[in-house]
Amino acid sequence: MDDATAIELQSLTKRFDEVVAVDNFNVKIQKGEFFSLLGPSGCGKTTTLRVVAGLEGPSDGTVLLENQDVTGIPAYKRNVNTVFQDYALFPHMDVKKNIFFPLKMRKISANEAEPKIERVLRLVNMEGFEKRLPQQLSGGQRQRIALARSLVNEPAALLLDEPLGALDFKLRVAMQKVLKDIQRNVGITFVYVTHDQTEAMTMSDRIAVMKDGRVHQIASPDEIYNDPETAFVASFIGDMNFLSGTIESAGEKNAKAVVSGNTINTRKLKQGIRTGEETLLCIRVERVEVNPPDGKLDNIIACTLKRIVFRGTDYEATCQFDDSEIRAVVSATAWDHRLKEGDAIHIGFKTKDVIVFPKSEEKDVIKYSVEAV
C-alpha cells in the first residue's frame, strides 16, 4: 500500500456520447501536493476534477482516494471538498453559519465546531468577520470564506475549479499567494483546475498539461517550462518562437538544423527524429539576445529589426532573416535605445535553448492570428 498517495487515477476515461472528454488519464497525486490541471477551454480538466469529486462517473478506469477505490461511491461519501468559481455561499447565512454548515451535516455540535471554525478563520485571515453576510464581503473575502468552509471538515483533498476566475487581475495575483500559503499551512492535497498558465506555474508542485482530453505532460513547473515534451506544451506555456527547419546532422549530445539557409545548433533530438526530416525548432523569446558580444553564443544570425514594442518592463523585438521571423524579449534596463526599426542586427542564442519537435506536431501549436485580433 502506498501511504504517500492521496489520489490515484488509473486509465481514467470519460465520454459524452461520441466526445472523449478525458482520454486514459493515469496519475498519482501525493499527499500534501499542490497539483494543477492546466489547459485551454474544453481540454477535459474540469471533467477530470468532477470525476474525482464524484459529480461525474467515469466511462472507464478507476479513482482511488487514499488507496481506497471510490469509483462507484457518491460525492457526499468521498472525503474531498470542492471550491467553485462562484463560491456557492448561502446568502442568508452569516460567515460563521456558512462555515458551520458542513459540520452540522455531520451532526457535529455547535460547541464542538467552535474551535474548528476559529482555526479555519485564522488560516484564511478572516477573524472578526463571523457575523458578516456574504454580500457584505469583497470577492477575495468571499473566496477565503469558501475555502474556510471547505477546509473545516479536514478533507483528504481539496478540489478547486478555477476559484480565482471571477476576481480582477491584482486580486487574483494576491489570492494566488494566499492559496499557496494556506495549502502549505494545512498540508493537505490541493487539486487545482485553471486555464491560466501563470497561476499554475506560480503555485503548483506539479502540473498536468491537457489538450482535447489527453495529458501531454505531467511535471514540475520548471520541467514543463524548460523541457516541454510536446510542441503543444511548448506553445501553451510561456512565449515561444517556432521556426521551420530541416535536420542537417545529429550527434549523441546535439544536432544541426538548417533554417532559411542558416545552420542552427540544437539540443539532442527527440526519439524518432532523423537526419533530413522537416522539424519545428523552438526557442524561448527571453533566451534570444540582440547584438550579443562576439563569441558568447553558439548560434548567431544576421537579421533585420522589423518591429519594436515597448511593454513596460521589457522590449519585444521582432527580427527577420530571409523568410523567417524570430522574437527577442529584452529587459527595459538592458535595451539599446539606439536601435530602430529597419536596422541590420544580429541575434544569438545557446544550443541548449533550441528544442526540436517533429513537423507533424505543428498542428497542435497554439497560434494567435494578428488578423483575428
Look at the alpha carbons of 87, 93, 99, 105 in this order and tell me if their dihedral is positive or negative.
negative
Q: At CA 243, angle to CA 242 and CA 246, rounded to 5? A: 135
pLDDT(173) > 90: no
Q: How confident is the model at residue 231 (pLDDT cuts 50, 70, 90)?
A: very high
Q: What is the pLDDT of residue 259?
A: 97
CA pair distance 236, 233, nearest whole angstrom: 5
Q: Which residues pair with 283 in a beta bridge?
A: 241
Domains and CATH numbers, the chain: 5-231 (3.40.50.300), 232-287+298-372 (2.40.50.100)
Q: What is the pTM of this model?
A: 0.90
- Return the percent helix, strand and coil in the chain, to nearest 5: 30, 35, 35
* Distance, CA of 140 to CA of 166 (rounded, Å): 9
The b-or-e profile of 278-302 (16+ CB within 10 A means b, else e) is ebbbbbbbebbbbbeeeeebbbbbe
User: What confidence tens digit (pLDDT) does each residue in 342-373 have?
Assistant: 999 999 999 999 999 999 999 999 875 444 33
Q: Which residue has the cell 474525482?
A: 52
Provide mean pLDDT across the span 233-243: 96
Report pLDDT digits (tens) over 239-298: 999 999 999 999 989 999 999 999 999 999 998 899 999 999 999 999 999 999 877 899
Report the percent of the chain where pLDDT is more than 70. Answer: 98
Task: Give the pLDDT band of residue 168 (cuts 50, 70, 90).
Answer: confident
Distance of alpha carbon 245 from alpha carbon 322, whole angstroms: 13
pLDDT at 369: 45
As given in the structure block, the three cell numbers for residue 23 are 482520454
Chain-centroid distance of CA 106 in Å reads: 35
Q: How confident is the model at residue 175 (pLDDT cuts 50, 70, 90)?
A: confident
Digit-coded pLDDT (tens) for 195-219? 999 999 999 999 999 999 999 999 9
Reported confidence tier of residue 80, pLDDT bands at 50, 70, 90: very high
Question: What is the residue whose three cell numbers read 533550441?
Answer: 354
| Average pLDDT of every residue of the chain | 93
18-37 pLDDT, tens digit per residue, is 999 999 999 999 999 999 99
